[in-house]
Homo-oligomer: A and B are copies of this chain.
Amino acid sequence: MKTIGLIVAYDGTPFAGWQRQPDRPTIQGCLEEAVSKINQTPTEVRGASRTDAGVHAEYQIAAFDTERPYDTGRWRIALNATTPPEITVRCAFEAPAGFEPRFESRGKHYRYWLWQNAYLPPFLYHRAAHTRPLDIENMQKAAQYLIGEHDFSSFRAYDCQAKTPVRTITRLDISTPGGPYVFGCHDESALIQIDVEGTAFLKQMVRIIVGTLIEFGLGRNATEMLDVLNGRKRVLAGRTAPADGLTLVRSYSSIDELVRISQ
């Protein structure tokens, strides 16, 4: 028995999220179907992050067990030929036997895009959330209160099952990366990028943080973020921002040194 690890990227638009569901297309479901077909036996694919419906990923970690003697390059090619084009296996590698991506996670980097002009370029449709113009400096001030280890009860979905609401955010940057070449003739400061890194996240935590930061971008006093955090009630935070602006940029893991991505 071998365990094969995968680095997977996907456009989340057509999927009902990562997690397998009986009647809807999911990323885990598509990968399991492809692996099971090649493996010629029903095979579970385990993932590091259960991304929501519509969320994208550049670097999700997955793993499955197999008796086949195929080398990792063959797995990569066979899987890319079998999965839908919205899913790309960037790399396959030999992982320690029984490797569990969720338990071996060492941190995650999420990125959220907001577009603050009247006109959303079609290029960003399903990639960015559309907002009114925001005060970025005020958002940056409010964001500082969230960095570090805190009880994030205000920033978890009502049905979040995690045993503890304590999490650590190591980075929360709000920037306007521009991109006049990429976005054509449009105002390059219209794109706002929010980078969030931490060891682990609660259910919908990043989207609730973004939805709350939008309120501060619209004028809420930055120090009130402390009240939201300390109040420990979901109702104190902002709305859950739409899923399609969110990308899992990177999932860090104990086996990172085993991964060699060929560009």
Question: Which residue numbers of A lie inside 8 Å of B, CB to CB?
Answer: 9-11, 56-59, 85-88, 90, 111, 117-123, 125, 127, 177-179, 181-182, 184-187, 190, 193, 247, 249-250, 261-263
Contacts and interface: CB of A to CB of B under 8 A. Distances in A.
Given A119-B90, A190-B263, A249 B125 contact: no
**Those 3 A-B pairs whose CB atoms lie nearest each other, nearest first:** A177-B181, A11-B122, A117-B263
Contact of A11 (B57, B123, B247): B123
Given A190-B263, A263-B187, A86 B117 contact: no
Given A58-B123, A88-B120, 9 more contacts: A9-B119, A9-B121, A11-B123, A58-B121, A58-B122, A58-B184, A88-B122, A179-B182, A185-B249
A54 to B, nearest CB: 12
Contacts of A123: 11, 56, 58, 127, 247
A122 B9 contact: yes
Contacts of A11: 122-123, 125
A118 B9 contact: no
29 contacts: A9-B121, A9-B122, A10-B122, A11-B123, A58-B121, A58-B122, A58-B123, A58-B184, A58-B185, A59-B185, A85-B125, A86-B125, A88-B119, A88-B122, A111-B184, A118-B262, A119-B262, A119-B263, A123-B247, A177-B182, A178-B181, A179-B181, A181-B193, A184-B247, A184-B249, A185-B249, A186-B263, A187-B263, A190-B263
Chain A contact surface mostly: loop
Contacts of A119: 9, 88, 90, 261-263
A117 B261 CA distance: 11
Contacts of A111: 184
A179 B117 CA distance: 20
Contacts of A56: 122-123
A127 B9 CA distance: 16
A13 to B, nearest CB: 9
Nearest to A89: B119
Residue with the highest number of chain B CB atoms closer than 10 Å, among A118, A186, A261: A118
Contacts of A179: 179, 181-182
Contacts of A121: 9, 58
